[in-house]
Amino acid sequence: MFNSHRYKPLIYLNLKVLFRRTQPHMFCTSQSHSLTVSYLINNLGFTPQSALNASKRHRFKTPHKADLIIAFFKTHGFSHSQIAAIVAKLPKILSANPERILPKFQFLASKGASTDDIVLLATRNPRFLHSSLKNNIIPTYGMMKTFFESDQKTLRCIASFPALFMEHRLVKNVKLLADAGVSNSAIHHLCRTRVSVLYSSDLRKLVDEVKELGFDPSSVKFAIALLAKKTIRKSLWDAKVDILKSWGWSKETTSQAFWRNPLCMLSSKDKINEVMKLWVNQLGWDPLALAKIPWLFGYNLERRIIPRAFVLQYLLSRGLRNKNDNLSTPFYVSEELFFNKFVECFTEESCVIASNKHHYKVNQLGAEACEYVM
C-alpha cells in the first residue's frame, strides 16, 4: 500500500524545485507582457485592449530594439500613425533589425520607387519587411518585370498587391503556366487584372479544367477563363448552371457560351435570371439565342438591355427590321450609333419618337408606351 507519510518530504522537495524553476520564468513573462502593453500605449497610442491583443502575439523584455525600429521608420518617412498601423498588423516588427530592412528599401528605391511608394507598400503588407531580399523579393520583382517590361508598371502592380513578395508559390505557378503553353500576353493579362490568381494553390487543376473546355492556352481568352473559374466557387458556378438549365440551356450550351465570353459567368444569379425573364417572358425571344451573345449578361439591365430590346422588338413587329438580322449588333454599339441607326432614322415612320440622344420613347400603337432613359 502507498505510504503517504513516507513520500511527503520527497513530494515537498520536488514541488519546491519545480517552483524555483518556474517562478522566475513566470515573473519574467508577466514583466515582459506588462512592459510591451505599456510601451504600445505610451509610445504608439494603442488603446489598452489593442495593446493587450498585440502583446499576445509578441512581447519583449527591453524596449531597446523597439526604439531602434521606430526611429528607423521615422527617418525613412513613416508617420506616427503609419508606424502604429504596421505594428498592429505585425507586432514582432518591434524586434526586427533595421539593418536587414534597409537593403529592401534601397532595392525598391533603385527601381524608381519613391519614399511614399515604399511607405505604402510596407503599410499595406508589413510582412514584406520580413521577406528575404535575395530569395524572394529580387526574384519575384525580376519575374514580374518580364511581363510588365518597365519598372514603373511593375511597381504599380506590386503597390496594388504587395502580398506578391510574400508568395513563394508565385514563381512556381508562373512556370507552371509557361510549361502548360500559356503565353506571356495571357500571363500579363492576369498580372494586370487579377494577379492573385497567380498564387492559387489549385492553379494546376484550374488550368486543366479550362483546357478541357476548349480554350487555347496561347490566347488571352484562356487567362480570362482562368480568372472566371478561380473567382467563382464551385457551388455558385453550379447554381448559375442550374438557373440557365431552367431556361432551356443544356450543359453543352452553357459551356459554349462560356467559351464565347468567359466573363458571362461572373454575372450574379439574379442578373442572369432577370435577363432571361426579359428575353423570354417579355420579349418572347429564343433563350438559346443568348448563348450566342453571352456578353449581353454583362451590360446594365435598366440602362442598356431593356430600352434597346424594346426598340428592337418594336422595329421587328413593324417589319422595319429583318428577323434574320444580327441580334448582337444593336446591343454592343455605342449609344450614339444605336440612336442614329435604330431610333432617329425611323422617326418618319412615326414608330419611334426621339427626344434627344439620351431619351427615346417607343409607341407600340395601342400597347402601353415604354420610355427609358439611356
The pLDDT value recorded for residue 30 is 55
Give whole-number Cα distances, 336 to 158, 339, 343, in Å. Answer: 39, 5, 10
Q: Are 276 and 303 in the same domain?
A: no
Count of CB atoms within 10 A of residue 159's CB? Answer: 16
362 falls within a domain: yes
Tell me how far apart the alpha carbons of residues 257 and 340 are, in angstroms, rounded to a whole number. 30
Tell me how far apart the alpha carbons of residues 373 and 304 are, in angstroms, rounded to a whole number. 9
251 falls within a domain: yes
Q: Are 284 and 319 in the same domain?
A: no
194 falls within a domain: no
Q: Are 303 and 336 in the same domain?
A: yes
Q: Are 332 and 359 in the same domain?
A: yes
Residue 352 belongs to domain spanning: 299-374
Q: Are 374 and 304 in the same domain?
A: yes
6 falls within a domain: no
341 falls within a domain: yes
The pLDDT value recorded for residue 101 is 93
Tell me how far apart the alpha carbons of residues 76 and 274 are, in angstroms, rounded to a whole number. 54
Domain total of the chain: 2
22 falls within a domain: no
121 falls within a domain: no
Listed in sequence order, the residues at least 6 apart from 298 whose beta carbon sits closer than 8 Å to its beta carbon are 261, 263, 264, 266, 267
Q: Are 310 and 366 in the same domain?
A: yes
Tell me how far apart the alpha carbons of residues 157 and 108 are, in angstroms, rounded to a whole number. 13
**Angle subtended at Cα 263 by Cα 189 and Cα 204, rounded to the nearest 5 degrees:** 60
Domain end (from 280, 295, 310): 295
Q: Are 288 and 357 in the same domain?
A: no
The pLDDT value recorded for residue 282 is 87
Q: Is the dihedral of CA 122, 128, 132, 134 positive or negative?
A: negative
Q: Could you tell me the mean pLDDT of each successive run of 10 residues in the chain, 374 residues long? A: 42 40 43 75 85 82 88 93 92 91 94 91 87 87 83 84 71 88 87 80 90 91 92 92 95 93 93 94 90 92 89 82 78 84 64 40 37 37
226 falls within a domain: no
